[in-house]
Amino acid sequence: MPWNVYLLQFVAGLLLANGVPHFVQGISGRRFQSPFASPPGVGESSPVVNVLWGFGNLAVGFATLGFFEPNGSEAIVEWAAVGLGALVAAVTLASHFGRVRSEGPKRNPAAPIATTRLRFA
């Protein structure tokens, strides 16, 4: 099997793993980091943006697997490439999102600060 097939299967695993958190957070109605936020990957995008970004990642990942489906005598090695791509993405994303989300949401300095008043009845 040519090396580029293994590389594409690895990338398919990356895309599939990356699509899951964006899609799930988006359909849950939660804001979440995306490359379209400000700053990219740190700021939070709207749920709709995350649904679209997640769906795009999943669609391209599944399409790539459709064209380069693991089969034949090397299917186990090819599925391992997909799994390795998903694992690399998952560990990288867990590290990044864990660090970013533990620091709290990033606020655009130009945006006004919303205040909340507590009212006791």
DSSP 52-103: HHHHHHHHHHHHHHHHT---GGGHHHHHHHHHHHHHHHHHHHHHHHHHHHHT
Range of the domain at 40: 3-102
Torsion of CA 52, 48, 27, 38, to 10 degrees: 90
CA–CA distance, 10 with 17 (Å, rounded to integer): 11
Would you say how long the chain is, in residues? 121
pLDDT at 22: 93
**110 inside domain:** no
CA–CA dist 49, 34 (Å, integer): 8
> Which amino acid is it at 51?
V
Euclidean distance between CA atoms 115 and 38, whole angstroms: 22
- Inside any domain, residue 82: yes
Please report whether residue 109 resides in a domain: no
| Domain count for the chain | 1
In this prediction, residue 41 carries a pLDDT of 79
Answer yes or no: is 76 within a domain. yes
Residue 65 falls inside a structural domain? yes
Residue 71 lies in a domain: yes
pLDDT by 10-residue block (mean), the chain, 121 residues: 89 96 93 86 89 96 92 89 95 88 62 54 57
The whole-angstrom separation of Cα 25 and Cα 91 is: 18
The CA–CA distances, whole Å, from 108 to 43, 49, 54, 91, 97 equal 9, 18, 24, 28, 19
Q: What is the pLDDT of residue 110?
A: 55
Is pTM beyond 0.85? Reply is no
Q: Is residue 111 part of a domain?
A: no
The answer to whether residue 52 sits within a structural domain is yes
